[in-house]
Amino acid sequence: MGLLYSLLIGALAGWLAGKLMKGGGFGLLMNIILGILGGVLAGWLFGKLGVSLSNGILGDILKGAIGASIILFIANLLKK
């Protein structure tokens, strides 16, 4: 159940990050990967900064979307 939860939350977070960064997303698989990596990045970063978001599904989606947006921002900088 944990894997399915991570995949669904990752897909939503990756899709949301694509919309926030004015991109159309990168397809379902890449959105899932970006969302999961973004969640890990944001969880680590927020832990270091002492920032806490809401718990549960909403907090997980927000963390994943913020982290995936950071990853997309850095990727766009490197692409130029």
Closest CA to 18 of 32, 7, 4, 5: 32
CA distance linking residue 63 with residue 14, whole number of Å: 11
Q: What is the mean pLDDT of residues 22-41?
A: 77
Residue 48 pLDDT > 90, yes or no? yes
Report the predicted TM-score, pTM, of the whole model to 2 decimal places. 0.81
Q: Is the pLDDT of residue 46 over 70?
A: yes
Cβ–Cβ < 8 Å for 75, 33: no
Which domain range does residue 30 map to?
Answer: 2-79
The angle subtended at Cα 9 by Cα 70 and Cα 6, nearest 5°, is: 105
CA torsion, ordered 45, 51, 53, 55, to nearest 10 deg: 90
Number of structural domains found in the chain? 1
